[in-house]
Structure 1
Amino acid sequence: MMTENLFGIMFQNRRNLHTILTETPKEKLLQIPEGFNNNVYWNIAHTVATQQLLIYKLSGLQMRIPNELVAKFAKGTVPDGTATEEEMMMVADFLISTAEWLIEDYDTALFQTFNEYTTSARVTLKNVDDAIVFNLLHEGLHLGQISLLLKQLA
């Protein structure tokens, strides 16, 4: 069972990402610094897509974001350096709404099954609780990457 504090940490991390996305100039969000293969925007959108894959898809549930967004930002994708204002605002909205939906869906026991999965970090997720905890670690790693990217762009 997830603790309220764990969801609080998730929500604060999402608010931090939302602030970066909405307060950083678009050209900085989309710029890929020399020596890097992605940008700030891709890292932020990737956290939204990955949360849906790890928690909803592995639980055999319909993801709550468009499949096109998942396909564009899933693991193994690379940014093309472009994004519409509409897409960026959609990602900003999903940063918060997907966190809210997860808490709601967890509290109403929506997650009944789970397809065991071993991540590229060699962590085996056996249930939705494992997926939620691992997703928090994953988002923290990307927040660190975003901080590094922002320093390169300063």
Structure 2
Amino acid sequence: MAPELIFETNMQLRRRMADVLDQTSAADLNRIPVGYRNNIWWNIVHMVVTQQLLCYNLSGLPMTVEKDIVKRYSKGSVPAGVPSQAETDKVRAYLLSSVAQLKSDYEQGIFKTYNAYTTSANVTLKSIEDALLFNLFHEGIHYGVVLSLQKAVGITRA
């Protein structure tokens, strides 16, 4: 496995999500189209939260995202209200900083233990390396959902 490529790819995905945040109106970010149960905003924050849960929480380490955000955007949650500008700014910063922090922490070897976890995709994660790889897969799924949501709310990509 090549962790460097995983981190590089993850950062590219997150840059695309940061661009979506920067280029999409608050109304479009928070619109839930007919046939969907969430919105662009929820998917973006869910990506940040899931990375924290899979990598830090399951390694027994403190997460770098507030517990309130984790609770509101974890698996099984649904959008509840419109985020404040402060929350939007915080999440925008987390998009890139959480990947950079994860890479730094991984390189420093802070991930010593891992509590095995079977995902909803029926993949059992047994190590931080498994979590890094699965997280990239997970974020790719949500990137696809964001693209679908953009189309559903009438956003055309150049």
- Shorter chain as normaliser: what TM range? over 0.9
Q: Which residue of 1 aligns with 2:57?
A: 57
For the Cα contact (< 8 Å) 1:31–1:81, is it kept in 2? no
Q: Please list every run of at least 4 consecutive aligned residues from structure 1 whose deviation after the TM superposition is greater than 3 angstroms.
A: none
Rate the CA distance shift 1:33–1:81 in 2: closer, same or farther, 3 A: farther
Between 78-87 and 111-120, report the one with greater CA deviation.
78-87
Structure 2 CA distance, aligned partners of 1:152 and 1:81? 20
Cα separation, 1, equivalents of 2:77 and 2:3: 32
Alignment correspondent of 1:142: 142
Kindly provide the amino acid, as one letter, of the partner of residue 148 in structure 1. Answer: S
Quickly say closer, same or farther: Cα 1:2–1:56, change in 2 above 3 A. farther
RMSD: 0.9
Q: SS of 1:110's equivalent?
A: coil
Offset from partner CA, 1:71-118 (integer Å, 9 cap, x none): 010001000241111111111100011000000000000100000000
CA deviation vs aligned residue, 1:17-55 (integer Å, no higher than 9, x gap): 111012111100000001110000000000000000000
Q: Give the Cα separation in 1 of the matches to 2:9 and 2:107.
A: 17
- 2:82 is matched with which residue? 82
Fraction of identical pairs, as percent:
44
Given the two structures, how large is their TM-score scaled by the length of structure 1? 0.98
Q: Name 2:128's counterpart in structure 1.
A: 128
For residues 81 and 28 of structure 2, the distance between their equivalents in structure 1, rounded to whole angstroms, comes to 10
Q: CA deviation at 1:7?
A: 1.1
Amino acid at match of 1:25: S
Alpha-carbon separation, structure 1, partners of 2:53 and 2:12: 21
**C-alpha separation between the residues in 2 aligned to 1:66 and 1:23?**
25
2:68 is aligned with what amino acid?
E
Matches within 5 A, 1:1-154: 2-154=2-154
Describe the SS at the equivalent of 1:47: helix
- The residue matched to 1:139 in structure 2 has which SS? helix
Instruction: After superposition, give the CA deviation of every residue in 1:109-147 in whole Å (9 maximum; x if it has no partner).
Output: 010000000000000001000000000000000000000
